[in-house]
């Protein structure tokens, strides 16, 4: 399919560049003492919020492809949606479907895992023990464990990474104890050997990302694979001991631990013939440990003797580099990204952030693909992040990002740029309110300085966020105590267009009208047609009334495939087939097909418009026995 950006007839653009600024973790929450965004001095954001070119967007749940509106958004799915301009089913939703349908247990890979267990091997599950639904979901782990038990797998070991970030900061025992109990009951009732074998806090053990600190991965390797680490009789004992030794410590920073037997021997080392499943569905913090398990020429640290293991990810974590080589659930196929269109049009661009979010403005933005789309047109800049806890330096690398962005804009080489300020998210995760306020103020100041550059260059800036975080820094429990909140929020995020040359050439669409794409085309031109109004909406498509631009008396119906389904190849194919069938039909009682249009990644069927009324009142008035004859 040819990728082509069509110029808008109603807007000629601006002399200067377009800059997209993503204020990571900056949501719009209740105006109270728990909201670092509200408490911070943010003259730039305040000014943008007063603009006519401002609205609030939902950045969690079904709006970004997650299973339900109770699921918090995250930077990965947020940048997927921003970079694709469309919504795709994401991690948890894909895994949910695979488990619910049983398809994941029908794969050849699952059969290979079971085969190893029947030949005496142990099945190991490694991942974040949490229901945060950002990196993993404990329900998935439980489903896999139950399937192992039902298939008679004798030995299972769980290597439990502790969260404290996407869930309560000291909630580890809420997950460890039920898991230990579940494994104990299965073992006793079915004569199996199921146990937790090792673990540790996610920021200290295993879950490094972007090669920021390979020692984190090495600590995990030593605990999970080799059984090297501080020994405890159970995971719950490990957590309680660490809490007692340092009352201020939170789960994400707990040291590694190894569960040992009465003689002090580790109960869950990984041996020849075993199988390992990483049950994290999000890729960024699963890539490095996956490389350690699967790369023959791995050089980041000394692994020691490498056992003969079958390693599988619950998903593929890097689609270009194919990490890991084997995985259980197919990832979303994200195509036709913004960068692909820009490169196809010969438009120069840059992407910049610090290490913590660099992958988001590149890999995730580009549809989970590593590297450049076209290196001759694109420049990627990574500013190395600090290697300390982020509340100790809440400014992070915002100033450096701002300075380098200004330099690239002023060079005149680039028509489009995108950047991510990580402060609101990474400092928000620490639960430190004072530091989060400073983080937000830093970002606001940097955004203001960049808007000044854009103004001088007669360009446009779009300012938004991928999800909330710093907008709720604590909650209050039943005893009136403040409980730090380190997870993302369900609050909306800001979306503002900064355009000093604005002369009412466009406007922010009404969110009520444009929900689910319903009003997104009203007033626009589509090929030879003006779109006048929406006349119908269903689960698969939206229908508009339109007028031919030259033949003004020709009124047409324009059917648009729902934006939520455009990422699903099966629905796109159904839409194509519908148009092909209509083109072959000629009958007085069947509307005539006039055209099929593909524009900016959207698909439209243009057909004869027949004035009339809806059949809904008639359908409601008929009896149940005749209802099957009245559908339209």
Question: 457 with 518, same domain?
Answer: no
Query: Residue 255 is part of a domain; what is its CATH number?
Result: 3.40.1450.10
Residue 260 DSSP class? B
pLDDT at 514: 43
Is the pTM value of this prediction over 0.75?
no
Residue 399 lies in a domain: yes
Residue 618 lies in a domain: no
pLDDT tens profile 472-527: 999 887 788 898 988 889 899 999 999 999 988 888 875 543 444 445 567 677 88
| Cα four-point dihedral sign 589, 595, 599, 603 | positive
pLDDT at 569: 63
The domain of 262 spans: 92-329
Count of the separate structural domains present in the chain: 3
- Helix, strand, coil percentages (3-state) for the chain, rounded to 5, are 35, 20, 45
Question: 240 with 322, same domain?
Answer: yes
Task: Dump strand ranges (E) for 355-450.
Answer: 378-383, 416-421
Residue 383 lies in a domain: yes
Question: 179 with 299, same domain?
Answer: yes
Q: Which of 10, 12, 68, 75 is catalytic?
A: 75
Q: At CB < 8 A and 24+ separation, what contacts does 607-610 make?
A: 607/556, 607/557, 607/558, 607/559, 607/582, 608/556, 608/557, 609/545, 609/546, 609/555, 609/556, 609/557, 610/557
pLDDT tens profile 402-437: 999 999 999 999 999 999 999 999 999 999 999 999
Domain-ending residue, one of 284, 311, 329: 329
The backbone torsions φ and ψ at residue 115, rounded to the nearest 5 degrees and listed phi first, read: -60, -45
Rounded to whole angstroms, what are the CA distances from 454 to 327, 421, 445, 447, 459? Answer: 44, 17, 14, 10, 5
Q: Are 556 and 543 in contact (CB under 8 A)?
A: no
Residue 1 lies in a domain: no
621 annotated active-site:
no
More confident residue, 70 or 45: 45
Residue 632 lies in a domain: no
Q: At CB < 8 A and 24+ separation, what contacts does 533-536 make?
A: none
pLDDT tens profile 136-190: 999 999 999 999 999 999 999 999 999 999 899 999 999 999 999 999 999 999 9
Residue 8 lies in a domain: no
Residue 13 lies in a domain: no
The closest alpha carbon to 363, from 384, 343, 380, 385, belongs to: 380
Residue 54 lies in a domain: yes
């Amino acid at each position: 399919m040819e990728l082509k950006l069509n110029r808008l007839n109603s807007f000629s653009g601006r002399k200067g560049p377009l800059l997209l600024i993503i204020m990571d973790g900056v949501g719009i929450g209740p105006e109270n003492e728990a909201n670092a965004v509200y408490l911070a001095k943010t003259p730039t954001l305040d000014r943008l919020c007063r603009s006519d070119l401002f609205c609030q967007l939902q950045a969690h749940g079904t709006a970004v492809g997650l299973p339900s509106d109770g699921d918090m958004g995250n930077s990965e799915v947020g940048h997927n949606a921003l970079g694709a301009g469309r919504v795709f089913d994401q991690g948890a939703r894909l895994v949910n479907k695979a488990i619910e349908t049983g398809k994941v247990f029908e794969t050849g890979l699952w059969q290979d895992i079971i085969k190893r267990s029947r030949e005496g091997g142990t099945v190991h599950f490694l991942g974040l023990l949490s229901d945060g639904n950002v990196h993993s979901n404990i329900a998935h782990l439980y489903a896999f464990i139950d399937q192992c038990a039902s298939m008679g797998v004798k030995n299972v070991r769980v290597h439990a990474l502790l969260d404290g970030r996407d869930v309560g900061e000291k909630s580890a025992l809420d997950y460890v104890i039920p898991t230990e109990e579940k494994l104990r009951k299965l073992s006793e009732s079915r004569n199996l050997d199921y146990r937790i074998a090792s673990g540790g806090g996610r920021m200290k053990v295993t879950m490094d990302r972007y090669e920021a600190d390979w020692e984190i991965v090495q600590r995990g390797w030593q605990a999970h694979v080799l059984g090297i680490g501080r020994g405890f009789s159970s995971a719950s004992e490990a957590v309680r001991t660490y809490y007692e030794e340092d009352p201020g410590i939170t789960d994400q920073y707990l040291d590694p631990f190894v569960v040992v037997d009465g003689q002090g021997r580790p109960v869950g080392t990984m041996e020849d013939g075993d199988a390992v499943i990483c049950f994290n569905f999000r890729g960024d913090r699963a890539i490095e440990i996956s490389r350690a398990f699967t790369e023959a020429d791995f050089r980041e640290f000394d692994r020691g003797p490498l056992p003969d293991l079958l390693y599988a990810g619950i998903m593929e974590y890097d689609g270009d580099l194919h990490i890991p080589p084997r995985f259980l659930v197919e990832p979303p196929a994200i195509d036709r990204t913004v960068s692909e269109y820009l490169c196809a049009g010969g438009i120069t661009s840059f992407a910049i952030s610090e290490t913590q979010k660099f992958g988001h403005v590149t890999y995730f933005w580009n549809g989970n693909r590593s590297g450049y789309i076209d290196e001759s047109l694109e420049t990627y800049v990574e500013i190395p992040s600090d290697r300390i806890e982020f509340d100790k330096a809440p400014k992070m690398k915002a100033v450096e990002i701002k300075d380098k962005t200004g330099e690239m804009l002023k060079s005149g080489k680039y028509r489009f740029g995108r950047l991510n300020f990580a402060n609101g998210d990474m400092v928000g995760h620490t639960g430190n309110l004072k530091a989060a306020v400073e983080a937000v103020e830093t970002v606001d100041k940097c955004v203001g300085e960049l808007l000044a550059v854009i103004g001088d260059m007669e360009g446009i800036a779009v300012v938004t966020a991928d999800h909330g975080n710093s907008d709720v820094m604590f909650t209050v429990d039943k005893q009136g105590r403040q409980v730090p909140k380190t997870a993302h929020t369900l609050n909306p995020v800001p979306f503002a267009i900064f355009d000093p040359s604005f002369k009412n050439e466009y406007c922010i669409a009404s969110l009520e009208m444009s929900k689910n794409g319903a009003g997104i085309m009203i007033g626009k031109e589509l090929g030879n047609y003006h779109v006048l109004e929406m006349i119908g909406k269903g689960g698969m498509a939206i229908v508009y009334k339109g007028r031919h631009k030259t033949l003004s008396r020709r009124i047409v119906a324009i059917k648009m495939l729902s934006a939520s389904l455009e990422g699903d190849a099966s629905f796109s194919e159904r839409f194509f087939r519908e148009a092909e069938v209509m083109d072959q039909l000629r009958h007085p009682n069947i509307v005539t097909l006039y055209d099929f249009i593909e524009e900016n990644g959207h698909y439209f069927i243009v057909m004869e418009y027949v004035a009339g009324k809806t059949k809904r009142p008639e359908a409601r008035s008929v009896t149940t026995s005749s209802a099957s004859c009245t559908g339209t």
